[in-house]
């Protein structure tokens, strides 16, 4: 197989072909796993809402973000404004959404870049906004990146995400009667993802 070929003596062209084959196999494995993930998310996943302490919830997010940002020497900042003490959500599912978006920001930021989390609320909604200093979204991605299997700019799709993460995130937000909006950050110059939840 391709992995065994990698252990034998190959010329340059054969090595390129072998490496390409391994990459395609890995891509296909990810694709299949993503299909399984989507099927599970749409048919089996049940949102189990409960009272969640928002300050503690945000602290957990910040700790995770700081940890995964270290390898690329990224600066992670947060702005916590007018927020309620308690929110009624599926804590595990919502953390999954936020951590996925922050992970994408880490992937697409250059070394020494910046990620910003802003949390704010009004009488009706709470917003969690993740911004980064990476390349940002194209106009096409702003419109379609939460669609199933959408692939946009390769520079923001270098890990072959196939649009799965944002699509699943959208589904989770919809089950919370919320929504996800994509645009670009005026402050940092990269992507901006807005998660809105009803109070």
Asked if residue 125 and residue 103 are part of one domain, the reply reads yes
Asked if residue 54 and residue 24 are part of one domain, the reply reads no
Tokens, residue 167:
């699509």
Which pLDDT value is given to residue 180?
94
pLDDT tens digits in sequence order for the chain, 199 residues long: 544 444 455 555 555 445 545 555 655 564 556 556 555 555 556 788 999 999 999 999 999 999 989 888 999 999 999 899 999 999 999 998 999 899 999 999 999 999 999 999 988 999 999 999 998 988 888 887 676 655 555 444 444 444 557 888 888 899 999 999 999 999 999 999 999 999 8
Provide the β-strand partners of residue 198: 125
Which pLDDT value is given to residue 193?
96
- Of 149, 168, 158, 167, give the one whose Cα is nearest residue 106: 158
Q: What is the dihedral of CA 61, 62, 65, 70, to 10 degrees?
A: -160
Asked if residue 97 and residue 62 are part of one domain, the reply reads yes
**Which CATH number fits the domain that encloses residue 158?**
3.30.565.10
Strands 86-89 and 125-132, how do they pair?
unpaired
> Cβ(69)–Cβ(110) under 8 Å?
no
Asked if residue 193 and residue 125 are part of one domain, the reply reads yes
* Angle of CA points 62, 63, 68, to nearest 5°: 95
Asked if residue 193 and residue 166 are part of one domain, the reply reads yes
Asked if residue 171 and residue 89 are part of one domain, the reply reads yes
Helices 164-175/91-108 angle, 10° precision? 150
In this structure, how many other beta carbons lie within 10 angstroms of the beta carbon of residue 183? 13
Asked if residue 125 and residue 53 are part of one domain, the reply reads yes
d(CA 103, CA 96): 10
Which pLDDT value is given to residue 192?
96
Asked if residue 192 and residue 95 are part of one domain, the reply reads yes
* Owning domain of residue 19: 2-41
Asked if residue 173 and residue 100 are part of one domain, the reply reads yes
Strands 114-121 and 75-80, how do they pair?
parallel
Which pLDDT value is given to residue 162?
41
Asked if residue 17 and residue 95 are part of one domain, the reply reads no
Asked if residue 24 and residue 115 are part of one domain, the reply reads no
* Angle of CA points 108, 110, 112, to nearest 5°: 130
Report field, pTM of the whole predicted structure over 0.85: no
Which pLDDT value is given to residue 105?
93
> Cβ(10)–Cβ(2) under 8 Å?
no
Question: Considering its fold, how many domains does the chain have in total?
Answer: 2
């Amino acid at each position: 197989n391709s992995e065994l070929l990698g252990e034998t003596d190959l010329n340059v062209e054969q090595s390129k072909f072998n490496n390409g084959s391994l990459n395609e196999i890995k891509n296909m494995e990810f694709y299949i796993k993503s299909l399984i993930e989507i099927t599970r998310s749409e048919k089996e996943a049940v949102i189990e809402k409960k009272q969640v302490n928002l300050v503690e919830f945000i602290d957990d997010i910040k700790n995770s973000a700081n940890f995964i940002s270290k390898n690329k020497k990224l600066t992670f900042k947060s702005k916590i404004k007018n927020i309620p003490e308690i929110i009624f959500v599926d804590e595990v599912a919502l953390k999954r959404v936020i951590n996925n978006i922050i992970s994408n920001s880490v992937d697409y930021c250059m070394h020494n870049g910046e990620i910003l989390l802003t949390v704010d609320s009004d009488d009706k909604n709470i917003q969690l906004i993740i911004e980064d200093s990476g390349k940002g979204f194209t106009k096409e991605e702003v419109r379609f990146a939460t669609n199933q299997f959408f692939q946009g700019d390769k520079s923001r799709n270098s890990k072959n995400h196939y649009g799965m993460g944002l699509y699943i995130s959208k589904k989770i937000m919809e089950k919370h009667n919320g929504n996800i909006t994509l645009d670009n950050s005026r402050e940092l110059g990269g992507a901006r993802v807005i998660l809105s939840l009803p109070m």
